[in-house]
Amino acid sequence: MKVKVFYHDKCFDGASSAALFSRFYRERIRSDVDFEFSGLLHRAGALFDESHFDGDENAIVDFKYSSSPKIDWWFDHHESAFLSPADAAHFERDETDKKFYDPAFKSCTSFIAMIGQERFGFDPAPVADLVHWTDVIDGALYPDAKTAVEMKAPAMKLTMVIESAPDQRFVPHLIPLLAIKPLADILEEPFVAPLLPPLLRRHEVSIEILRQRAECTDGTIFFDITDQELEGYNKFVPYYLHPESIYSVGLSKSSFRVKVSVGSNPWAPEEPVVNLAKICERYGGGGHARVGAISFNVNQHAAAIRASREIVNELRAAVRKNRG
C-alpha cells in the first residue's frame, strides 16, 4: 500500500510534519505501507495538481487545505489555511476524523504529535526533540536575535539545509531520517554533511548583503534582494541588524516566483498589532498573524514591488498611529 504525503517544501516544520505523520501512521494506522513524500510550494496560481494525488491514501501536512476527494488526511496550523470560504465549509462538513486544523499551535509537527497522542494513542516521546525544535523554529521562540542568527543548534543547521535543498529528491530522502534519528546524527549523514560548509559561508555573505540593503523607518524594515540568489536567507537577520524594528518586508526571487516576505520582530521593543496574515491574504498570500508571505509569478516583478511598497507604507503608518 502506498501513502503519499504532501508537505510544505523548503521548510523545517513541513519536513518534520511529514516525518512525524509517517511515524504516527506506521505505528497507529497500519505498518504494511510504503511512503512517498512530495513537496508543495506556495506559488501564484493553482497550488495543487489533482493528478499527483495518486497514493492509495493521500495526506497533506503543514499546507493549505484541498477539498479533493482524493485527500484522506490533512493537518495544518496556518491562519490562512483555506483558499476559499467553500474550502473552509468543506472542511467543517468533514466527518472522517482524519482532517485537523488549529492555528493556535506554534508548529504543525507539535499539532500532529498532540492529535496522534490524544485521538489515536500515539507515543510522541521518542520524537520529543524534533517536536521541541519545530516549535522553536516555526514559532520563533529563540531567546534573542543573536541566537537565531548564529545557527549553532543542529535543528537550525538542518533548517538551513532544507530551505536550500539542492534538488527535489533531497528532502524526501531526509524525511524518513527525521522520524527515527537524532538531529545531530542526521547532520553527519554523507548526503547532508558536505552541504553545510558552503551554506554557512553563504549565510555570512547574506548577513552582509542585508546589512547593505535593509533600511528601517518608522519601525518597519524594507529590503530588495531580487538581484541576489538569496531566497533562503535567515529571516531573523533583519531583526538582528535592526533591533529597533517591529516589522519587516522583503523582496526575494527564485526560478519560479518573486516572493514578498512580511514578518514581525519576535523581540520588538513594541508589541506588533497588525495581523500580517490578513494583509497577505489581500494579495493572494497568507500565513500567521505574525508572519506571512505572498508569491508572484516571476514575470510579475513590478506587481510584487508595488505590493511590497503598499505593505511597507501601511505598516509604517500603523506604527506612527500606534505611537500617537
pLDDT, position 254: 86
Q: With pLDDT > 70 as the criterion, what percentage of the chain qualifies?
A: 99
pLDDT category at 231 given cuts 50, 70, 90 is low
The span from the CA of 72 to the CA of 60, in Å, is 8
| Spatial CA neighbour of 150 closest among 83, 236, 272, 212 | 236
pLDDT tens-digit map of 58-111 = 999 999 999 999 999 999 999 989 989 999 999 999 999 999 999 999 999 999
The span from the CA of 280 to the CA of 237, in Å, is 21
**Domain 2-186, what fold?**
inorganic pyrophosphatase (n-terminal core) (3.90.1640)
Name the one residue in this structure whose C-alpha cell is 542568527: 149
CATH class of 210-323: alpha beta
pLDDT tens-digit map of 203-219 = 999 999 999 999 999 99
Determine how many CB atoms are found less than 10 A away from the CB of residue 218. Answer: 16
| Every domain of the chain and the residues it spans | 2-186, 210-323
pLDDT tens-digit map of 138-176 = 999 999 999 999 999 999 999 999 998 878 899 999 999
- Mean pLDDT of all residues in the chain? 95
The span from the CA of 100 to the CA of 139, in Å, is 19
